[in-house]
Chains A and B, each alone.
Chain A
Amino acid sequence: MKPNNKLFEPALVQTALKQSFIKLDPRVMVRNPVMFTVEVGTLVMAYVTVYSFSHSGQGSPLYNFFIFLVLLLTVLFANFAEAIAEARGKAQADSLRKTREETPAKVLLANGTIEIRSSNQLKKGDVFVCETGDTIPTDGEIIEGIATIDESAITGESAPVIRESGGDKSSVTGGTKVLSDEIKVQVSTAPGESFLDKMIALVEGASRQKTPNEIALTILLASFTLVFIIVCVTLKPFADYANTPITIAALISLFVCLIPTTIGGLLSAIGIAGMDRALRANVITKSGKAVETAGDIDVLLLDKTGTITIGNRKATNFYPTAGVVIKDFTDACVLSSLADETPEGKSIIELANEQGFKNPGTPQGSAFIKFTAETRSSGLDTADGRRIRKGAFDSIRNIVEKAGNIFPSDIEDHVKSIATNGGTPLVVSENEKALGVIELQDIIKPGISERFERLRKMGVKTVMVTGDNPLTAKYIAEKAGVDDFIAEAKPEDKMNYIKDEQALGKLVAMMGDGTNDAPALAQADVGVAMNSGTQAAKEAGNMVDLDNDPTKLIEIVEIGKQLLITRGTLTTFSIANDVAKYFAIVPALFIASIPALQSLNIMGLHTPESAIMSAVIFNAIIIPILIPLALKGVAYKPIGATALLRRNLFIYGIGGVVAPFIGIKLIDLVVGLFV
């Protein structure tokens, strides 16, 4: 999927423009109390405009019409903000959905015959077959077989991935392509109920539920709106007392300027854009609440392998015992690993090659000794009688000591020092004599410790989960810079850790893919399942990561924070704006009968009419000006909560007070040319 970075695609703008008018329907508007009152004000102004043609005392029809127009624009701008956010989210989702348009599915019937059906006729529980070159018709779980699959249509990653039945990588996604082999897949979701469909519904608004913080903010904004209703309604008897007639246009303008239209107009756009940003990061969320919760995460559980370290351990050093030449030792190491298909085994040969050792190839007539849980070693017996073994320290020592040989103490020293440094020692012996130690080390992903540092500054505690022994785990944890670790972890350990942290009042996020992760994913406050994971895992979590990228959690936390910050800063900006608007409108209201109040006209606006017009125009155009910010989100900087507050208070608080003074003055200069 190509990320679409342009904010205003012409096609989207067109849809959004159309939607802005459709959304004028009061039944829709009433969901947003702030903008609803503006719409009511607009209707009143429409009436006043018509009324002023035949009656005097309410200002000129042209002036009233102009105010009506600006108010209408204010509502339209707010609708546009919401519509463009929806359109962008939908476009993003559509491009995902396109990958799963009708494809023929080879459905396996109960009697064993195959029937071709269209993908949208597939029902949950159906089983279909995919062979090399087939596009997988819909989401499902492999029940038989193994295949390489091209998932680039979803993830953008060109390297094929392996999916097989039974394990933790048994899920396939509709729209991806089988590159080799044949698999049988069981349909896991009914058409229209996939995660993607749910996500699209969330973005489209029909089923979009307000998140808890959004509800609280709406309440606060509604109460501000009520305060300003009181302010404006009571102004009428005040003005009567002061013998100052106030036109309806002026009163409504004051009201619209005071109520927090800026944040009110952008609020839903911000929420939709947050989910959209998650989608752009290739994360499908099942609810908007999950994104918001992600911003509050205190503890992050990360699997070691694949997240903190690159895949598997690698050989990093050969340590021959005293009296053994390095060349002979390396030779033995390579021979012992020739038949070893594990990544560790391969890395030993790689290391030997790096050190200039030429691979002689498997000698004729050799017999491979496979690794078993009992011997805990593997190796090779050559035709000329060399018996080379490679394995864990104690198993090789057993072999050596059983044969009556002495196990060299320098090897023991090496083993100890490797283990304390977080490595894994492998001892190699030939004909029951120990030759030396191979050091295997976890390779920590480049840049990962910086990311953990960033998380720490955000106040998120990182926890590494690993099957390693505590000593190794501790070493890697320190090196990678995580705050805590769970060593020798069993699935229930994760669960218990999450429960313990939650009991302390913390919010926990984790990522997982296996079926045995599912309970923990469900327990976690934010559970991100990998798309490649089992269906059970995906059902249990509240987000699915299409990229299967274990570091994605970090991004999700930032998206969640950004969402809240954008709301908070724009609320502050919106309220701070009111100060300047008061200084524009209040003197304009009373100047005719109380000339002394001219002193409050500190912006030196032309006439009362131009002052009021400038204020409402500013109030209207600030909405589209801020749409890009609402869609992209206010940048999050992990500089600590207090520093961040200071920064945002300065930019959006002080900025919010100052900006409208400048803006209204400039607009007044322009309006002054015409009025």
Chain B
Amino acid sequence: MNTELIGIIATFLLTLVIAIPLGKYLAKVFAGEKVWTDFLKPLENGIYKLSGINIKEQMNWKQQLKALLTINILWLVYGFFVLIFQDKLPFNPDGNPGMTPDLAFNTIISFVANCNLQHYSGESGVSYLTQQFVLMFLQFVSAATGIAAAVVLFKAFRDKTTTQLGNFWEFFVRAITRLLLPLSIVMALILTFNGTPASYDGKDQFVSVQGDTVNVSRGPAAQLIAIKHLGTNGGGYFGANSAHPFENPSYLTNMVEMIAQVIIPIAMIIAFGYFIRRKKLAWTIFGVMTIGLFMLMIPTLSSELGGNPALAKMGISQATGAMEGKEVRFGPAATAYWSTLTTVISTGSVNGMHDSTMPLTGLWQLLAMMINGFYGGCGVGLLNYFIYLIIAVFISGLMVGRTPEFLGHKVEAREIKIAAIITLLSPFLILAGTAISSYVFTNHGDAAWAVQPKAWLNNPGFHGFSEMLYEVTSSNANNGSGFEGLGDNNVFWNVLTGVIIFLGRFLPIIGPVAIAGLLGAKKFIPESAGTLKTDTKTFALMTFAVILVLNALSYFPALALGPLAEYFTQLR
């Protein structure tokens, strides 16, 4: 047991050792200062030239968002058609069929949005062409989109007053050439050497001891698995995601994958502080997020290592903790740590079955995705946190008797309106989505869909409710992990989660960038003794309280009916 815990602690420390210098490096990269990777400049200039981009052209926040949305819509259209017609396109050695329009709709939104909710299985649902040139491509560009959006926010606060927020294309290209691509190459090599396939051959075959012929899927997996973690995407090459022995062969690769998914989100926070020359603010934000992570992780560890009380009642000793749905090569501690990370960050890859975790673990997983701002996804985590920050700034500004201001810019009605809409969006999408599915399940169980609503849930009752709540929450958070146990490949779930993912992705990018743009253009007010500083412990506490209370108030009834009801019932 102790070795298991040491493994987690070591993983976390190693994460910091990599992420913190990476953050300082990123601040320099995006500020255009000299860094050792400048030898890549000719490559970047080539890309700009090829695409007709003039990176000297400064954009305001509206132009930034226009560029961001335009390119994303282009990818949506491109990917949608490839998914539908993949059976007619090359690189399909296993002869997998084209997707139905509703599944293609869901899948393409899911990958463009960095969500990677998968209603298909990689082995049978997509071709190698799709894996490489749609899904993996999108894993790069969607992560770069989030990072570039965050850099726009950085730019708004670097100078005293500015409307010139840099060039979106430059941030976007640099996020790939200076960050995602080099790190992915390193990681893909590590995975390949540890047994993850990277070939383009079709299924392999062997005859098992029992004499059955077994087909084993493989393909260009290592490269995809690298970016799936680095870019906090989470969409696996194989259906079982990182629980699959090819995706995650050993404890070492498990550590690498756990580290990879957090380093960029943490680095972005550090980069923020160094970029706007307010290091203390970055450390304060990092502190709040890390405490948040621990508050979700420690109870998760304790409930998973504690074993299943239902089994304990039967007199079965569970010295190794709750092992149902876990891989023996990782054990419950590493799986618990992963499950917290993957929900706190919006990765959504899994190395075990979330459906099998203890009810309280499910609660923490859900809560982590509802908050979606403790580190959070690549770039977007910080954007989500920024909304909480604005609300905290506003309320605490009033509490100290001064018109609220953030980094020297007054926060007024217009910014609050945007922040309020974004705050409102998550409860709306999550609760309304769950309500619609509950309603359909309860009242239209016999609807003639691919999977009849009454057959959606593996486990009706509280756990079934959690399955639906999880699916919707994961979509809104652009997390993409599944609780599983839900019959989700049908028109209803494909369309519902597709719409939720789309709104849950782009509105929370537009909102914070707009607020930052508006604030950055406002007159800069120098700090005085009456100014509320946002890099103090007290303000950190305030932000933490805002995050906790807002989420608790929005989701308490839903959580009470799902995981809490299950937990208390199990105790009886």
- Which A residues contact B (CB, under 8 angstroms)? 212-213, 215-217, 219-220, 222-223, 226-228, 230-231, 233-242, 258, 292, 295-296, 298, 456-461, 504-506, 560-565, 567-569, 571-572, 575-576, 578-579, 582, 586-587, 589-590, 594-600, 636, 640-646, 648-649, 652-653
Please determine whether A219 and B420 come into contact, CB atoms closer than 8 angstroms.
Answer: yes
Is the CB–CB distance between A219 and B416 below 8 Å?
Answer: yes
Name the one of B420, B533, B569, B571 contacting A594, with C-beta atoms under 8 angstroms. B569
- A–B complex contacts, Cβ < 8 Å, 5 sampled: A227-B428, A506-B526, A646-B538, A649-B541, A652-B399
**Best-surrounded residue of B400, B412, B549, B552 (most CB of chain A within 10 A):** B400
Q: Are A227 and B553 in contact (CB under 8 A)?
A: yes
Complex formed: what's the CA distance from A648 to B542 in Å?
Answer: 11
Kindly list chain A residues whose C-beta atoms are within 8 Å of the C-beta of B395: 220, 568, 571-572
The yes or no answer to B388 lying at the interface (CB within 8 A) is no
Q: Are B399 and A596 in contact (CB under 8 A)?
A: no
The interface of chain B, by Cβ under 8 A from chain A, is 391, 394-404, 408, 411-413, 416-417, 419-421, 423-424, 427-428, 431-432, 434-436, 438-439, 441-443, 462, 465, 523-526, 528-533, 536, 538-539, 541-542, 545, 549, 552-554, 556-558, 560-561, 564-565, 568-569, 571-572
**What is the CB-to-nearest-CB distance from A582 to chain B, in angstroms, rounded to a whole number?**
5
Query: Is A458 touching B558 in the complex (CB atoms < 8 A)?
Result: no
The listed residue (A222, A597, A653) touching B565 by CB distance below 8 A is: A597
- Contact present for A258 and B442 (CB under 8 Å): no
- Check A234–B432 contact: CB distance below 8 A: yes
**Interface contact B398-A223, CB-CB below 8 Å:** no
When the two chains form their complex, are residues B529 and A237 in contact, meaning their CB atoms are under 8 A apart? no
Q: Residue on B with the closest CB to A258?
A: B553
Check B435–A242 contact: CB distance below 8 A: no
Among B404, B411, B420, the residue within 8 A (CB) of A223 is B420
Residue of A nearest to B565 (CB): A594
Q: In the assembly, what is the distance between CA of A457 and CA of B541, in Å?
A: 23
- Given the known A-B contacts A238-B561, A641-B532, are A296 and B399 also in contact in the complex, defined by CB atoms under 8 Å? no
Contact B403 A212 (CB under 8 A): yes
Q: Which of B462, B545, B553 contacts A649 (CB 8 A)?
A: B545
User: Do B413 and A212 have beta carbons less than 8 Å apart?
Assistant: yes
Complex contacts, B557 vs chain A, CB 8 Å: 231, 235, 238, 582, 586, 589
- Whether A237 pairs with B439 at a CB distance below 8 angstroms is yes
Q: Are the C-beta atoms of B565 and A596 separated by less than 8 Å?
A: yes
Chain B proximity of A235: nearest CB distance (Å): 5
Q: Which of A226, A459, A564, A653 contacts B398 (CB 8 A)?
A: A564
Provide the residues of chain A in CB contact with B421, threshold 8 Å.
223
| Complex contact B402–A295 (CB within 8 A) | yes
Contact A640 B431 (CB under 8 A): no
Measured between alpha carbons, how far is A599 from B568 in the docked complex, in Å? 7
Cα distance A594–B465 in the bound complex, in angstroms: 14
A257 vs B569: C-alpha distance when bound (angstroms)? 27
CB proximity of B410 to chain A, nearest CB, Å: 9
Identify A219's interface contact among B413, B465, B532, CB under 8 A. B413
Indicate if the CB atoms of B398 and A567 lie closer than 8 Å.
yes
| Given A212-B413, A642-B533: 20 more A-B contacts, CB < 8 Å | A216-B412, A220-B419, A226-B424, A230-B424, A231-B431, A231-B554, A235-B557, A240-B443, A241-B561, A242-B462, A459-B402, A459-B528, A505-B524, A560-B401, A565-B400, A569-B398, A572-B395, A596-B565, A641-B402, A646-B538
Give the chain A neighbours of B549 by CB distance below 8 A.
Answer: 575-576, 578-579
Q: How many A-B residue pairs have CB under 8 A?
A: 217
**CA A460 – CA B402 in complex, angstroms?**
12
- Chain B residue numbers with a CB within 8 Å of A648 are 399-400
Nearest CB of chain B from residue A483's CB, rounded to whole Å: 11
Question: Which residues of chain B are within 8 angstroms of A241 by Cβ–Cβ distance?
Answer: 438, 441-442, 465, 561
> What residues on B are CB-neighbors of A560 within 8 Å?
401
Min Cβ gap A615→B in Å is 14
Chain B residues within an 8 Å CB radius of A599: 568, 571
Dominant SS at the A interface? helix
Min C-beta distance of B237 to chain A, whole Å: 35
B531 touches A459 (CB 8 A): yes
Nearest 5 interchain pairs by C-beta: A459-B530, A568-B398, A561-B401, A223-B420, A568-B399
Q: With A642-B536, A653-B545 given, is the CB distance from A238 to B400 under 8 Å?
A: no
A575–B394 alpha-carbon span in the complex (Å): 14
Q: Tell me the complex Cα distance, A582–B539, Å.
A: 26
Cβ-defined contact, B398 with A571, below 8 A = yes
- Residues from chain A with a CB closer than 8 A to the CB of B417 are 216, 219
Pick the contact of A568: B397, B436, B531 (CB < 8 A): B397
CB distance from A262 to the nearest CB of B (A): 14
Q: Which residues of A contact B554 (CB under 8 A)?
A: 227, 231
- State whether A237 and B435 are in contact (beta carbons under 8 Å apart), knowing that A212-B412, A596-B568 are contacts in the complex: yes
Cα–Cα, bound, A649→B526 (Å): 25
Q: How far is the CA of A643 from the CA of B536 in the complex (A)?
A: 10
- A240 to B529 CA separation, bound complex (whole angstroms): 55
> Given the complex of chains A and B, what is the CA–CA distance between A216 and B397 in angstroms?
12
- Chain A contacts for B571, CB-based, 8 A: 596, 599
B530 touches A460 (CB 8 A): yes
- A222 adjacent to B442 (CB under 8 Å): no
Distance between Cα atoms of A461 and B525 in the complex (Å): 14
Complex Cα gap A212–B423 (Å): 21
User: Most chain-B Cβ atoms within 10 A of its Cβ — which of A226, A459, A560?
Assistant: A459
Question: Which chain B residue shows the least CB distance to A240?
Answer: B442
Question: Complex formed: what's the CA distance from A171 to B552 in Å?
Answer: 59
- Name the B residues within 8 Å of A571 (CB-CB): 395, 398
Which residues of the partner chain A approach B397 to less than 8 Å between Cβ atoms? 564, 568
Q: Are B556 and A596 in contact (CB under 8 A)?
A: no
Nearest-neighbour CB distance to chain B for A601, whole angstroms, equals 11
State how many angstroms separate the Cβ of B414 from the closest Cβ of chain A.
Answer: 9
Q: Which residues of B contact A235 (CB under 8 A)?
A: 557
Asked whether, in the complex, the Cβ of A600 is within 8 Å of the Cβ of B560, the reply is: yes
**Complex-state Cα separation, A493 to B71, whole angstroms:** 55
CB-CB under 8 A for A575 and B529, given A242-B465, A568-B395 = no
**Set A213, A298, A589: member contacting B528, Cβ < 8 A:** A298
Q: B431 contacts which of A230, A457, A594, A600 (Cβ < 8 Å)?
A: A230
Judge whether A227 and B400 touch: CB under 8 Å.
no
Q: How far is the CB of A551 from chain B (nearest CB, A)?
A: 19
- A562: chain B residues at CB < 8 Å are 401
B426 CB, nearest partner CB in chain A, Å: 9
What distance in Å separates the Cβ of B530 from its nearest Cβ neighbour in chain A? 2
Residues of B within 8 A of A296 (CB): 402-403
B residues less than 8 Å from A228 (CB atoms): 553
Most buried by A among B401, B530, B549: B401
Could you tell me if A642 and B399 are in contact, using CB atoms closer than 8 angstroms? no
B420 and A644 contacting across the interface, CB-CB below 8 Å: no
User: Is there an interface contact between A223 and B528, defined as CB atoms closer than 8 Å?
Assistant: no
From the candidates A220, A459, A587, A645, name the one contacting B399 in the complex (CB within 8 A).
A645
Closest Cβ of chain A: how far from B460's Cβ, in Å? 9
Chain A residues with Cβ below 8 Å from B552 are 579, 582
Are A597 and B539 in contact (CB-based, < 8 A)?
A: no
CB-CB under 8 A from A295, the residues of chain B are 401-403
CA distance A641 to B398 in the complex (A): 11
With A and B bound together, what is the CA distance between A590 and B565 in angstroms? 10
Name, among B394, B554, B557, B568, the residue most crowded by chain A CB atoms within 10 Å (CB to CB): B557
- Minimum CB–CB distance from B496 to chain A (whole Å) comes to 14
B151 to chain A, nearest CB (A): 25
Minimum CB–CB distance from B399 to chain A (whole Å) comes to 4
**Chain B residues in 8 Å Cβ range of A649:** 396, 399, 538, 541-542, 545
Q: Are A238 and B416 interface neighbours, CB within 8 A?
A: no
A586-B557, A600-B560, A641-B529 known; A572+B401 contact, CB < 8 A: no
> Which residue of the partner chain, among A220, A457, A575, A595, contacts B553 with CB atoms under 8 Å?
A575
Most B Cβ at <10 Å: residue of A506, A590, A596: A596
Could you say which residues of chain B place their CB within 8 Å of the CB of A564? 397-398, 401-403
> B439 — nearest CB in chain A belongs to which residue?
A237
Complex: A649 Cα to B546 Cα, angstroms? 11
Docked Cα-Cα span, A216 to B420, in Å, equals 10
